[in-house]
Amino acid sequence: MSIRLHNIGKHFGSGRQRTRALEPINLDIQEGELVGLLGPSGSGKTTLLRIIAGLENPDRDGGARILFGDRDVTDVHVRDRRIGFVFQHYALFRHMTVFDNVAFGLTVMPRRNRPTSGEIRARVHRLLEMVQLESLAGRYPAQLSGGQQQRVSLARALALRPDVLLLDEPFGALDAKVRQDLRRWLRHLHDELGFTSLFVTHDQEEALELSDRVAVMSNGRIEQIDTPDDLYRAPGNRFVFEFLGDVNHLEGEVRGGILTCGDARLSVELPDGPEELLLRPHEVRLVEAPSPEARLPATVTAISPVGAEVRVELAADWMAAPWLATVRHADYERLDLRRGQRLYVEPRRWHRFPEGRETRRDAPRASLA
């Protein structure tokens, strides 16, 4: 079932303490899509999710509309919206067994629609089988690990066969390994059961890996919504670019096709004036000698050879903040990198987001200071 949001705005508080949590937002999610809401804390992503669920009300004055398929649910109470909601800290009923937790939604149905207790038992066991927790049906939530609790809460949310599954930071409280497994498992489940899902996360990697499309939010606004690929390759503005990964800044003055910043120089085809370039760590190379186009001296301050690539931290007087470069293990060995070594950085690519292209934005400039 598709989800359509129209003019969803939200203010908290009243009078002088009234603060805006969401600017009026429009968002269309296709049937069967898995969409991630990605943003830093305070960006309004959880508020948006809770409004879709019906746990919060959008502002009344903006003509807000929420549609599930053709059904207008704007004024429908949470309990009648037919959504499954997975809470950040699972919110399992602590005094009930795993079985009773999963069965809860079925046992509170009005008597005339309620399945018989035999049917309920069969359905709960099927669900527990699906989340691989059948053997723990008699346990209490406190006796389970975080990952197991999260799977119980998923099974509980799916028990009523909701049209829409909403997940609030579903893996936020789990350790890295469990998180990876659960992520893959959720994606699999989503594809198999075909519900429409929307999940909130502050972890870019998680959003990019799991979602069909990602909506990047900041300051109560959707900055960009795109497939993970497009988002990473063609960020619409500076915030999105900076939020999706590590960024190196090169800020200086362009004169006659040369950008100068302290003792660093770089040939660029840009008009004269102040300029700021942004570079991803994998978009720079480390070389032993400067080239005619680039002369960016730097000193190696830290090396982390763990993983597919070696992460090298660089410092120099002309840098406002340390740079990060990722190099292949082969290059790492060839260059014989050591701490304290002096090298030159050679940009392969750079990005720029001139003010004109982000007139709408008033967001994070702090990192430039």
Partner 1 sequence: MQRIGDAPAVRRALILAAVALAALFLLLPLVAIFAQAFAQGVGVFWSNVSDHYTLRAIGLTLFITVLTIPVCLVFGVALAWLVTRFSFPGRRLLQTLIDIPFAVSPVVAGLIYLLLYGRNGWLGGWLDGHDVQLMFAWPGILMVTIFVTCPFVARELIPLMQAQGSREEEAAVTLGAPGWTLFRRVTLPNIRWALLYGVILTNARAVGEFGAVSVVSGAIRGQTNTLPLHLEQLYQDYNTVGAFASASLLALIALLTLAAKAGLEWRAARQEALA
Residues that bind partner 1 (CB under 8 A): 53, 55, 78-80, 83-85, 87, 89, 91-95, 104-105, 108-109, 140, 142, 153, 156-157, 159-160
CA distance 36 to 251: 33
Question: Nearest distance from residue 162's CB to partner 1, in Å?
Answer: 9
Nearer to partner 1, 105 or 252 (CB): 105
Q: Quick one: tokens of 175?
A: 């350790």
- In 64-172, DSSP assigns E strands to 65-68, 71-72, 83-86, 164-168
Question: Nearest distance from residue 140's CB to partner 1, in Å?
Answer: 7
Classify residue 188 as exposed, middle or buried by CB count within 10 Å of its CB (0-12, 13-18, 19+). Answer: exposed
Nearer to partner 1, 23 or 56 (CB): 56
CA distance 139 to 322: 50
Nearer to partner 1, 80 or 269 (CB): 80
Nearer to partner 1, 55 or 178 (CB): 55
Q: What's the Cα-to-Cα distance from 31 to each of 50, 101, 194, rounded to whole Å?
A: 19, 28, 8
Question: Nearest distance from residue 2's CB to partner 1, in Å?
Answer: 20
In 3D space, the residue among 226, 84, 108, 106 whose CA is nearest the CA of residue 163 turns out to be 84
CB atoms within 10 A of CB 242: 18
In 3D space, the residue among 307, 342, 355 whose CA is nearest the CA of residue 327 turns out to be 307
Q: Are 130 and 185 in contact (CB under 8 A)?
A: no
Q: Note the Cα 171 to chain centre separation in Å.
A: 11
Q: Note the Cα 105 to chain centre separation in Å.
A: 29
Question: Nearest distance from residue 101's CB to partner 1, in Å?
Answer: 9
Nearer to partner 1, 82 or 361 (CB): 82
Question: Nearest distance from residue 109's CB to partner 1, in Å?
Answer: 7
Nearer to partner 1, 139 or 285 (CB): 139
Question: Nearest distance from residue 255's CB to partner 1, in Å?
Answer: 58
